[in-house]
């Protein structure tokens, strides 16, 4: 195939199809790419925790002890996912579980001293990760982007 044929294929690929649909122009595709970029930045700075694990620690740092289910709600995770996150954090000694005094079926989650130290050390890194993620935008664009993104969430 000649270079001209390759060029023709590229030009044809860029022309809108009969429905005018291009994957690269779709909100979900763009959000996924932005998320992938953010997760790569996160992993380069905080390699020993996943973003969901960090979110659980950060929220516990904000609010203190809470039920496992409430924590899941607050960090946008379903019950099964948050249970796995908490189990992994507990195995690392970062959180502790206890039974609710009245409702023994209810599991309470809290930071351990080690978990509190870890999250307090990581919060400045998390701020830097946010700054790096938003670095292609001006301060005004970043503020607008965050405001608009929050409307979609």
User: What is the C-alpha R_g of the chain?
Assistant: 21
pLDDT, tens digit (0-9, with 9 covering 90-100), for 97-115: 998 777 767 889 999 999 9
pLDDT, residue 20, reads: 87
Q: Give the rounded percent of residues in the chain with a pLDDT score beyond 70.
A: 88
pLDDT, residue 99, reads: 83
Per-residue pLDDT averaged across 7-20, rounded? 60
pLDDT, residue 102, reads: 73
Own/partner contacts of 120-124, CB < 8 Å, gap of 24 or more, are 120/61, 122/46, 122/49, 122/54, 122/57, 123/58, 123/61
CB 65 within 8 A of CB 30: no
Band (pLDDT 50/70/90 cuts) for residue 19 is confident
77-93: string of b/e by CB count within 10 Å (b at 16+)?
A: beeeebeebbebbeeee
Q: Looking at the whole model, is its pTM more than 0.75?
A: yes
pLDDT, residue 100, reads: 72
pLDDT, tens digit (0-9, with 9 covering 90-100), for 39-88: 999 999 998 999 999 999 999 999 999 999 999 999 999 999 999 999 99
């Amino acid at each position: 195939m000649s270079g001209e044929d390759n060029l023709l294929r590229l030009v044809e690929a860029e022309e809108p199809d009969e429905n005018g649909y291009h994957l690269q122009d779709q909100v979900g595709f763009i959000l996924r790419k932005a998320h992938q970029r953010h997760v790569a930045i996160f992993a380069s700075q905080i390699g020993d925790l996943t973003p969901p694990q960090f979110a659980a620690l950060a929220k516990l740092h904000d609010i203190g002890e809470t039920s496992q289910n409430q924590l899941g709600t607050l960090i946008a995770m379903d019950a099964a996912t948050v249970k796995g996150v908490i189990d992994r954090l507990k195995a690392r000694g970062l959180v502790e579980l206890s039974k609710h005094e009245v409702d023994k079926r209810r599991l309470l989650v809290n930071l351990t001293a080690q978990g509190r130290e870890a999250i307090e050390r990581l919060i400045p890194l998390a701020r830097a990760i946010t700054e790096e993620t938003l670095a292609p935008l001006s301060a005004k664009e970043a503020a607008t982007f965050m405001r608009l993104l929050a409307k979609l969430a």
